[in-house]
Amino acid sequence: MFTNEQKKELLSLARNALKAHFTGETITLPDDPAFQPKRGVFVSLHINNDLRGCIGYIKGYKPIAESVVEMAEAAAFQDPRFPPLTEKELETVIIEISVLGELIPLLKNELPVIGRDGLYIQNPYGSGILLPQVAVEYNWKPETFLREVCRKAGLPPNAYLEPYSVVFRFTAEVFSEADTF
């Protein structure tokens, strides 16, 4: 768990990475030991409560601070669902960071816990991920959450029941510029 100050520092790091895209400034990574572990990280951008970009690593490939910078830039400028973020939009965008816990295989008869679990499905025909906050935002039941992660992966809604599908659950520490610290 991050302290409020550490959360603010990571959010500031993400915002500075976006600003640097327009100004050409260099980003300095913080040296806080809490930001050194390699963890899955997603950065989501919102404007007027609407998603404006979201990209991340499911697994920890790089230290948290480095991943926050890279995923903030990717969410703003490389999410194929949206045009690149403009400098004018930067003023209104709200940044949210999700630092993921380990992937735990969901047993075939187990249901995800809404508000705690995110889901990741692997299938020979596609894979997809939904962060824990998505099910809460849409007020989904566990079965709906499972069907929606299949849909996100481009799979039939009940693909999670197929023997060659593997569904993982994970927790995430989620914090946003909209939070009051």
Domain 104-170, CATH 3.60.15.10 — does that match? no
What percent of the chain stands above pLDDT 70? Answer: 100
pTM of the full predicted structure?
A: 0.94
Q: What is the pLDDT of residue 25?
A: 93
Question: Is CATH 3.30.700.20 what the domain over 4-100 is classified as, yes or no?
Answer: yes
At residue 147, the pLDDT reads 98
How many whole angstroms separate alpha carbon 93 and alpha carbon 45? 6
pLDDT digits (tens, 9 = 90+) for 34-91: 999 999 999 999 999 999 999 999 999 999 999 999 999 999 999 999 999 999 999 9
One-letter amino acid of 114: I
* Integer CA distances (angstroms), 133 to 49, 52, 88, 105, 113, in order: 13, 16, 27, 19, 11
pLDDT in tens, 162-173: 999 999 999 999
Q: What residues have CB less than 8 Å from 129, skipping those under 6 apart?
A: 58, 118, 119, 120, 121, 149, 152
Q: What is the pLDDT of residue 4?
A: 96
- Could you state, in order of their start, the residue ranges of all structural domains in the chain? 4-100, 104-170
Q: Which residues, in sequence order, are CB contacts of 95 under 8 Å at separation 6+?
A: 11, 14, 15, 18, 43, 44, 45, 72, 176, 177
**Average pLDDT of the residues in 83-112:** 95
Q: What is the DSSP letter of 35?
A: G
The span from the CA of 21 to the CA of 13, in Å, is: 13
> Per-residue pLDDT averaged across 135-154, rounded?
97
Average pLDDT over residues 2-25: 96
Q: How confident is the model at residue 181 (pLDDT cuts 50, 70, 90)?
A: confident
DSSP secondary structure, 117-170, as one string? -EEEEEETTEEEEE-HHHHHHTT--HHHHHHHHHHHTT--TTGGGSTT-EEEEE
Contact, 97 vs 8, CB < 8 A? no
What is the band of 31 on the pLDDT scale with cuts at 50, 70, 90?
A: very high
pLDDT of residue 135: 97
Q: Which residue type is seen at 5? A: E
Tokens of 35: 């930001």
